[in-house]
Amino acid sequence: MMPQILVDADGCPVVDETIMLAKRYGLEVTLITDTAHVMNREGATTITVEKGSDSADFRLVNLVRKGDIIITQDYGLAAMVLSKGGHILNQNGSRYTNENIDGLLMSRHIGKKIRRAGGRTKGPSKRTKEQDDRFVYALEALIREILQIN
C-alpha cells in the first residue's frame, strides 16, 4: 500500500512544496486544519475540523497508517504518530524518531515551565529559502527511502 502524506496544515509554511513532491511520486496529500485556518490547495484533500485544543491533531492521528509521512512541528503529535508507525518531518526537514522524541518533549516542557514562571523564550526566526530547500531535500529523501527508490 502506498503511503499517504498528512500535513498538520495550521501555520505550515511548506504545504506547496509537499504537494509538489507528492505529485511527482504519485502520493496522496491530506491537509488537516481547523476552522481558523481555511485552506484549499489543488492536488490535496483538505479536512477542516472544529477549532479546539488539539482537534486537528487527533483527527490526523486517527488517519495515520503505518508507513505514512506526516509533516508537523508539534512534538506531542509526533509522539502519537510514532506510536502508529508513521514517519515525521518538521517544516525544516528534521526527522522526529523514537530516538529523539523524548528529548524534544522534555525541551518543550522546560520551555513551558519558563514561560509560566514569567520568563521568555526565543521565538522562531524569519523563514529562509534555505530552510525550504532543506525541507524539500529531506522529504524527497524520505519518500525515496519508503518507496525504495535509489
3-state secondary structure of 37: coil
Model pTM score: 0.84
Pairing of strands 69-71, 87-89: parallel
CA distance 76 to 33: 16
Q: pLDDT value at position 36?
A: 77
Task: Identify the domain containing residue 90 by its residue range.
Answer: 5-147
Distance of alpha carbon 141 from its chain centroid, rounded? 16
Q: pLDDT of the chain along its 150 residues, tens only?
A: 899 999 999 889 999 999 999 999 999 999 999 877 778 899 999 999 988 767 888 999 999 999 999 999 888 899 999 999 999 999 999 999 888 776 666 676 566 666 677 777 666 678 899 999 999 999 999 999 999 997
CA distance 114 to 9: 27
Is residue 29 within 8 A of residue 7, CB to CB? The reply is yes
Q: What are phi and psi of 34, to 5 degrees?
A: -100, 175
Is residue 8 within 8 A of residue 74, CB to CB? The reply is yes
Q: pLDDT value at position 138?
A: 97
Residue 20's CATH number: 3.40.50
Measured at the alpha carbon of residue 66, what is the angle toward residues 64 and 67, in degrees to the nearest 5?
Answer: 105
Is residue 138 within 8 A of residue 130, CB to CB? The reply is no
Which residue(s) pair with 33 in the sheet?
Answer: 48
How many folded domains does the chain comprise? Answer: 1
Q: pLDDT value at position 107?
A: 75
DSSP character at residue 43: T
